Amino acid sequence: MFFTVQIGAFKKLNISKFDNVNNIILDNIGNKVRVCTGKFNNLLDIDAFKNTLVGLGFKDAFVVAYYNGKKITMKEAKNIYYNRFGQ
């Protein structure tokens, strides 16, 4: 499982919009492309990273989680995380 920050989902992707962002992750979701950045194993680091991205102008950035290659809800992710690592 890992956490990343979604910074957009687009029908037509203009990748140059993200020139100042490292480690872009693209995920095809139907007729859109989800754009994420960062890959973290813990909630504290990903929240701080999300806040940094918001400060850089990605106001709608939010944390998403992937488990076994699939996006899962944050509720599911937190259950897995806290069962594995405690609080």
- In a 13 Å sphere around the CA of 39, the CA atoms on its Cβ side amount to 9
- Confirm if 80 and 67 have CB atoms less than 8 A apart: yes
Q: Is pLDDT of 86 > 80? A: no
- Confirm if 54 and 3 have CB atoms less than 8 A apart: no
The domain of 47 spans 2-85
Each residue's pLDDT tens digit, 21-48: 888 989 888 999 999 999 999 888 999 9
- Give the chain's domain count: 1
CATH of the domain at 20: 3.30.70
Kindly report the pTM of this predicted structure: 0.85
CB count within 10 Å of CB 87 equals 5
- Confirm if 18 and 7 have CB atoms less than 8 A apart: yes
